[in-house]
Structure 1
Amino acid sequence: MAQKMTDEEWRAFVSQGTRTAKLSTVRSDGSPHVTPIWFVLDGDDLVFNTGKSSVKGRNLARDGRVALCVDEDRPPYDFVVLRGRAVVSEDLDELRHWAGRIGARYMGEERAEEFGARNGVPGELLVRVTIDKVLAEKGVAD
């Protein structure tokens, strides 16, 4: 039987290794758009970057409501769903810093600077999601 994760458990779970999140944003017609993202936690915020002209970038600039799901696809099947509001920024120093931190998580510390330089450029957005609601369960198949 599934059990709720503690605050410490869900934060560790979403930050483990290279798990991606599936991000849901709101299209202009109200329908959902879902896409995988790389991210890092920063305190009570979730941080990622995306292209300003991408579907998610345009959606977030118009409507900051988001939901994200991070899951384990093997038994006993744990998952975390986060809901919140996103704020976008085009500050290049911030963007370069966080793009580097995200690159380090997913591609290794030795490539952090490379990813910061690649993704910390005009046309990219830094997205900071303030987490409002958490649903986190472990051992769903137990």
Structure 2
Amino acid sequence: MSRTTVELPAAARALLTGPRTATLTTLRPDGTPHVTPVRFTFDTATGLARVTTRAGTRKARNVSAGGPGARVALCQADGFRWLTLEGRAAVTGAPARVVEAVRRYTARYGSAPPAPPDLVVIEIAVDRVLSLNL
């Protein structure tokens, strides 16, 4: 998964650092959208967003079923301001990547995410950013 720096205005970076919930949209195997609330982190230096989840969740299964080109969207809103991060996603259970995702999640939200035995990370290589009022 290639990664690139994503330039964001200060207001957008601030929106992505507060302890807010977003929605993650993935596509089911039949092509219909699946939208679910998530907590996530975003690294502007690498353009990588991370969502921790259980391996068997619908969102993880959708990304896995989509293969290496699976596209997803994360949308975070605050009143009339919103920001959507789109990109290619992959699911990984690699221990170092899970540890990094948990570290970043804990820094953003002030506590660690749930730690089930099948914890995985959906990594999103962001290649498109949409926003309003930022």
- Secondary structure of the corresponding residue to residue 12 of structure 1: helix
Counting only pairs closer than 5 Å after superposition, residues 23-102 of structure 1 correspond to structure 2 as: 23-42=24-43, 43=45, 44-63=47-66, 64-73=70-79, 77-102=80-105
Q: In the alignment, what sits opposite 1:12?
A: 14
Whole-Å separation in 1 of the counterparts to 2:87 and 2:52: 16
The structure number with the bigger radius of gyration is 1
Structure 1 stretches of 4+ with a deviation exceeding 2 A read: none
Whole-Å separation in 1 of the counterparts to 2:59 and 2:27: 8
User: Unaligned regions of 5+ residues in structure 2, if any?
Assistant: 1-6
Could you list the per-position Cα deviations for residues 88-115 of structure 1 after superposition, in whole angstroms to 9, with x for gaps in the alignment?
A: 2111232023213213322x2xx44xx4
Q: In the alignment, what sits opposite 2:132?
A: 137
- Secondary structure of the corresponding residue to residue 57 of structure 1: helix
Q: In the alignment, what sits opposite 1:127?
A: 122
Identity of aligned residues (%): 34
Whole-Å separation in 2 of the counterparts to 1:48 and 1:100: 12
Aligned residues: 122
TM-score, L = length of structure 1: 0.76
Whole-Å separation in 2 of the counterparts to 1:60 and 1:67: 11
What residue identity is the alignment partner of 1:28? Answer: P
Confirm or deny: 8 A CA contact 1:48 1:99 kept in the other structure. Answer: no
How far did 1:20 drift? 1.5
Per mean C-alpha deviation after superposition, the further-off stretch among 29-38 and 87-96 is 87-96
Could you list the per-position Cα deviations for residues 55-89 of structure 1 after superposition, in whole angstroms to 9, with x for gaps in the alignment?
A: 0010011112101111113xxx1111111111221
Please report the RMSD computed on the Cα atoms of aligned residues, expressed in angstroms: 1.9
